[in-house]
């Protein structure tokens, strides 16, 4: 299998590069090769490629900045994925697009199913929803894979932030009323690879799916797990989201119902604690 991957330095793209199975090759597109702010250029890269499948692992992920930069976020997260999906449909190759729990409003306590109505709380969620709609409208073979709370040993994420803070702080206030499934970039990469191969065998599996680590937890409990696993003595004080205001509202309920992903592709929800242990071990090693 030959893949064309949008993204090179992001968390999932880096994980994909490290986890390609034997017989699978990939061309990872950096920003210098293809600017996601240029939808036509994104489509042209697919049209010129001989790839068997395309994975979009790149996105505008600055949730708070998107509140004052929505047009740019929408181009990158909305217009460009739509252009990619149209080009992939024209080339008759599967397109896998990574999306987010932020397309939901975070109400209630039940996990959101893939067909649940969407209602983003902010600009970032609206931009990602725009991308989803464009991918579906393209009419090609595709999977939209929604995930949540992504972490790895690379890039910027909650695990790395908490680990760094614990080295200088013995007390941290962490939000405890947001619930979701922490998901390692490595597990997302593995899921994308499995899905790409499955779509090549059976294009009728197209659709929207959810994938998140298990069990669901809170940011405060995740922080405690990080500190315990890394040997830090930092104490976590639980606070409500209202006590930690941000420019963009975060969904209180980010739980995702992943049963259709398991039923269709045989992909189980990964144990985030096991993945966390691997990430913390990697962070102890010199980073490339």
pLDDT category at 11 given cuts 50, 70, 90 is: very high
Average pLDDT over residues 28-55: 96
In a domain, 236, yes or no: no
Chain mean position to CA 262? 18
In a domain, 209, yes or no: yes
Predicted confidence (pLDDT) per residue in 164-184, tens digit = 999 999 999 999 999 999 999
All residues at 6 or more sequence positions from 285 whose CB lies less than 8 Å from its CB, including other chains: none
Res 288: pLDDT: 52
Packing angle, helices 185-201 and 11-19, rounded to 10: 60
Task: Using a cut of 0.95, tell me whether the model's pTM lies above it.
Answer: yes
What is the residue-averaged pLDDT of the chain?
A: 97
In a domain, 62, yes or no: yes
- Active-site residue flag, 102: no
Query: How many domains does one find in the chain?
Result: 1
Give the integer Cα–Cα distance in Å for 9 and 125. 22
Question: DSSP secondary-structure letter at 250?
Answer: P
Res 83: pLDDT: 98
- As a residue count, the chain comes to 288
Q: CB–CB of 241/178 below 8 Å?
A: yes
In a domain, 164, yes or no: no
Predicted confidence (pLDDT) per residue in 74-133, tens digit = 999 999 999 999 999 999 999 999 999 999 999 999 999 999 999 999 999 999 999 999
Write out the DSSP string of 202-233: -GGG-EEEE---BS-EEHHHHHHHHHHHHT--
Predicted confidence (pLDDT) per residue in 187-234, tens digit = 999 999 999 999 999 999 999 999 999 999 999 999 999 999 999 999
Per-residue CA distances from 160 to 21, 152, 175, 204, 248 (Å): 27, 8, 16, 39, 21
Predicted confidence (pLDDT) per residue in 42-86, tens digit = 999 999 999 999 999 999 999 999 999 999 999 999 999 999 999
Query: φ, ψ for residue 255 (rounded to 5)?
Result: -65, 135
User: Residue for token digits 């606070």?
Assistant: 239
CATH number at residue 103: 3.40.50.720
In a domain, 50, yes or no: yes
In a domain, 287, yes or no: no
CA-based end-to-end distance of the chain:
27
Res 286: pLDDT: 59
pLDDT category at 285 given cuts 50, 70, 90 is: confident
In a domain, 224, yes or no: no
Which range of residues forms the domain containing residue 99? 2-156+182-214+255-273
In a domain, 227, yes or no: no
Average pLDDT over residues 272-286: 92
Among residues 60, 102, 124, 209, which one is catalytic? 124
């Amino acid at each position: 299998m030959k893949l064309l991957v949008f993204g090179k330095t992001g968390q999932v793209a880096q994980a994909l590069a490290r986890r390609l199975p034997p017989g699978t090759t990939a061309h990872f597109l950096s920003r210098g090769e293809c600017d996601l702010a240029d939808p036509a250029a994104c489509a042209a890269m697919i049209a010129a490629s001989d790839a068997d499948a395309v994975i979009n692992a790149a996105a505008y992920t600055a949730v708070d900045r998107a509140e004052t930069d929505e047009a740019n976020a929408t181009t990158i997260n909305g217009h460009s994925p739509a252009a990619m999906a149209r080009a992939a449909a024209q080339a008759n190759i599967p397109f896998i697009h990574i999306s987010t729990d932020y397309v939901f409003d975070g109400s209630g306590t039940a996990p959101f199913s893939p067909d649940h109505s969407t209602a983003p709380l902010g600009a970032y969620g609206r931009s990602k929803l725009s991308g989803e709609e464009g991918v579906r409208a393209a009419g090609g073979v595709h999977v939209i894979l929604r995930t949540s709370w992504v972490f790895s040993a690379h890039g910027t994420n909650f695990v790395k932030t908490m680990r760094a803070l614990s080295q200088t702080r013995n007390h941290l206030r962490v939000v405890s009323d947001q619930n979701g499934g922490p998901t390692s970039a490595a597990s997302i990469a593995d899921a994308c690879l499995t899905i790409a191969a499955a779509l090549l065998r059976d294009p009728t599996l197209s659709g929207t799916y959810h994938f998140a680590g298990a069990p669901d937890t809170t940011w405060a409990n995740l922080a405690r797990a990080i500190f315990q696993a890394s040997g830090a003595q930092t104490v976590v004080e639980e606070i409500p989201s209202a006590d930690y205001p941000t420019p963009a509202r975060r969904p209180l309920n980010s739980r995702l119902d992943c049963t259709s992903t398991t039923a269709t592709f045989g992909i189980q929800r990964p144990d985030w604690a096991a993945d966390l242990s691997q990430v913390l071990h990697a962070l102890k090693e010199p980073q490339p």
